[in-house]
Amino acid sequence: MADFHSSMHGSAAALPRRNPLHTWWTILRISIEERLIYRGDFALGTLMRFLPLLTQIFLWAAIYQAVHPRETIAGYSYHEMVAYYLLTQISRAFSSMPNLASQIALQIRNGEIKKYLIQPVDLIGFMFLMRVAHKLVYYVVAFAPFALVFFLCRDFFSGWPDATTMAAYLASLVMAFLIGYFLEATLGLVGFWFLEVSSLLFIYMLFTFFFSGHMFPLDMLEELGGPWATIVRVIPLQYLAYFPAAVFLGKIQGADLAWGLAMQLFWVLFFIGLCRLTYYLGVRRYSGYGG
Amino acid sequence: MAIIEIEGLAKSYRIYQKQEGLLAAVRGLFHRSYRDVQALRGIDLSVESGEFVAFLGPNGAGKTTTLKLLSGVITPTSGTARVMGHLPWRRENAYRRRFALVMGQKNQLWWDLPAQESFRLHQQIYCIEPAEFDRRRDELVDLLGVQTLLRQPVRELSLGERMKMELIAALLHSPEVLFLDEPTIGLDVIAQHNIQSFLRHYQQVRKMTVLLTSHYMKDVAALCRRVVIIAHGRIIYDGSLSGIVDRFSGHKIITLIFPGNTVPHGLGQFGEVLEEQGPKVKLRVDRGGIAQALSAILDRHTIEDVSVEDPPLEEVIAEAFSIAAEDLSDGAPEDDVPSPLAGQG
């Protein structure tokens, strides 16, 4: 049996030294391992996501046939429309957070959240790393099918964008991920007040469906006139799908591009702040009233 | 100086009262009625460093609430507490690195991964030096005999094995204060015994301060010299385990065995007849009247064997709970009728 006495209260006496990189890497590594356990489900889910792509491409083909193959809709030719649609799939691969909010709400409801309250760890940061791991695994699994789809559909694209556009595109994708994470984490944290957040999530998904540009370019809504243009421009959902795709296609350039990226950064910071505030108030409420 | 100091700690919850039925559910959408439940009604307690203290009490008595308050998960309604000089609900990292909470009914390990991955994570979270971590882990794994289970996903461990892993995870950072909330709940007798002997050994060597809640008297008897009984949010007893009997039980049990198979009549005058079977009779007699009753019985009857015992601890504690309930009956209504410990152990 090992000797007990030598390290009595050893950790309390020494000042804890933490290497944040090391901690993050451990959390990341363990999360990746966890993701890989359900590899079958994961691979299947990833592959199945590619089926709707085909139907959507056929749908746009039919629409453009009906209008006129050479016409543009909201400034998008048939080729651009398909390219746009494919690109939003990449945007969504960064910005969508399957199960994040519902999982946080569930942990609040079943009390698992206590774990994060008693350990010297930050819940939001912890979950963030778990989500990064989740995404990394997803990209590895999804890379090949994505590459295949884009290769098969290469004729819809008019070539690679220039370096500046490409850099802006990558930045917008990373910020799409950050907005997606902090926005959905905030929705999950609403669970401190409502316990059940599935209706809230449904509303969020409905709005995202229309106003993120996930299904069609937001320029189409703008053409409708009325309040749509304003709504689309004011709410941040466009940064989850439309904005990165439009940047890649060169639809947004120059000053507009700089302004768009600045606005996206603003929303990143906004949702980080909102998420932190919600967490702070939520924990206070939880520890004040909850069991 | 005491390591844990609690003064007038009180906690009340607002609980939504839902009436039965659909109509009431719809009404509940617009108008909700709440009820204040007082989980703790102001307790004072002081625990010295290295003590192993058991909290006993019926369900809903406030034991777990006390542990939640001390581990900073919830904030009190009034009163205060200091653990190692920290205000728990401020949740400072400096405090959170120095204690651990193990809940028998909650899982803190990663469900789908082997326990050793969770241990690794704890090493990072609690900033444990690698060499120190290896040493402590090996020592704990050794003591609990779980070497072969380290690589097995937690979900595939038995409840007892999982509990051992939970304990290892909680002890890796060498907490000075350990809160155990029903650590042996649902375990079989052997697993209970293993965990008890581990805790006893580890606490003695490490001189940790441990607060334990349990429904199993065996846990308490095996581990704790000091027992705090909580009922209805108040401390009704604080002392040794054996002292409980003196304090709450005014009776002793006299067991008489008569020759042959017959039991004489009229024993009821000496005390309450608890059991009458074959040649054996059990009588409950007031403490003060033991000598008198015994001599009277010996005078009148021939007896083969006699013994005088304290009533079982479970019964005494159940009695203590009901006394507490009566004391409180003039206060706010409570719906948590004390459930005697005897039924749960």
Question: In chain B, how many domains are there?
Answer: 2
CA of B74, closest CA in chain A: separation in Å?
4
Residue B191 phi/psi, 5-degree rounding, is: -60, -40
Give yes or no: residues B166 and B295 share one domain: no
| pLDDT of the residue at A291 | 42
Q: Which residues of A touch B74 (CB under 8 A)?
A: 286-288, 290-291
Residue range A137-165, pLDDT digits in tens: 888 888 888 888 889 889 888 888 999 99
- The verdict on B40 touching A (C-beta cutoff 8 Å) is no
Please tell me whether residue A139 adopts helix, strand or coil conformation: helix
| pLDDT of the residue at B287 | 85
Residue range of the domain that includes B233: 4-245
DSSP 8-state secondary structure symbol assigned to residue B173: T
Please tell me whether residue A193 adopts helix, strand or coil conformation: helix
- The verdict on B108 touching A (C-beta cutoff 8 Å) is yes
Average of per-residue pLDDT across B179-204: 91
Interface of A with B (CB under 8 A): 1-2, 4-5, 7-12, 14, 16-18, 22-23, 26-27, 30, 33-34, 37-38, 111-112, 114-115, 117-121, 284, 286-291
Q: Which of B121, B176, B202 sits opposite A9 (nearest CB)?
A: B176
pLDDT of B343 > 60? The answer is no
**CA–CA separation, A74 and A219 (whole Å):** 6
**CA–CA separation, B229 and A49 (whole Å):** 58
Average of per-residue pLDDT across B20-46: 82
ipTM over 0.90: no
| pLDDT of the residue at A18 | 60
User: Does residue A226 sit within a domain?
Assistant: yes
* A25 token code pair: 């890497």
CATH of the domain at B290: 3.30.70.1150
* Contact call for A30 and B110, based on CB within 8 A: yes
CB atoms within 10 A of CB B237: 19
CA of A29, closest CA in chain B: separation in Å?
10
User: Does residue A7 sit within a domain?
Assistant: no
* Contact call for A115 and B173, based on CB within 8 A: no
Give yes or no: residues B98 and B213 share one domain: yes
Q: How many CA atoms does the CB half-sphere of B286 hold within 13 Å?
A: 5
Give yes or no: residues B201 and B264 share one domain: no
| pLDDT of the residue at B72 | 92
**CA–CA separation, B24 and B33 (whole Å):** 11
Give yes or no: residues B27 and B139 share one domain: yes
Question: In chain A, how many domains are there?
Answer: 1
Q: With beta carbons less than 8 A apart as the criterion, state whether B230 and B61 touch.
A: yes
User: Does residue B319 sit within a domain?
Assistant: no
The lowest-confidence range among A13-17, A57-61, B110-114 is A13-17
User: Does residue B295 sit within a domain?
Assistant: yes
* Contact call for B174 and A12, based on CB within 8 A: yes
User: Does residue A163 sit within a domain?
Assistant: yes
Q: Which residues of B touch A125 (CB under 8 A)?
A: none
The lowest-confidence range among A72-86, A211-225, B26-40, B72-86 is B26-40
CATH of the domain at B135: 3.40.50.300
Q: Which of A1, A11, A30 sits opposite B126 (nearest CB)?
A: A11
